[in-house]
Amino acid sequence: MYMMAKHLHLTAVALSILFFVFRFIWSQFDAQALSKKWVKILPHVIDTILLASAIWLCVILSQYPFANAWLTFKLIGVVLYIVLGLFALKRAKSTVGRWAFFVAALAVLMATAMVAVTKQPLF
C-alpha cells in the first residue's frame, strides 16, 4: 500500500509542477491555450489527487502536520507555493511581477522538495 500511495503522490507532484510551468508559459506567450476547458479543469483534478495521496501517506506512516516538524514545513511550503502560483498566473499586474512570483514559487517548491526527501525541516 505504501509504495502505491507514494508513487501516486510523486506522479501527482510531477504532473502538478509540469502543468504549472506549462500554464505559466502559456500565460506569457499563448493566452488562448489557457481558455480551453480541459486546461481549467485538469489542475484541480491533479491537485485533488495530490492532496488525497498526501493524506493517504500521512495515515499509512502515522505522521501528521503539526505533530512532525518536517510535515508542518511541507504543508506551509505547499500553501505558500499555491499563493505564489496564483499571483504568477493571475494576480500580478506586470510581466516582471509574474516572473518574480513564478521564480519564487519554484524556489519554495524546491525547498519543500528538499524537506520531503530529507524529512528534516529547513528551520
- Residues 4-36 pLDDT 10s: 999 999 999 999 999 999 999 999 998 888 889
- What 3 state SS string does the chain have? CHHHHHHHHHHHHHHHHHHHHHHHHHHHHCHHHHHCHHHHHHHHHHHHHHHHHHHHHHHHHCCCECCEHHHHHHHHHHHHHHHHHHHHHHHCCCHHHHHHHHHHHHHHHHHHHHHHHHCCCCC
pLDDT of residue 4: 97
Q: What is the pTM of this model?
A: 0.89
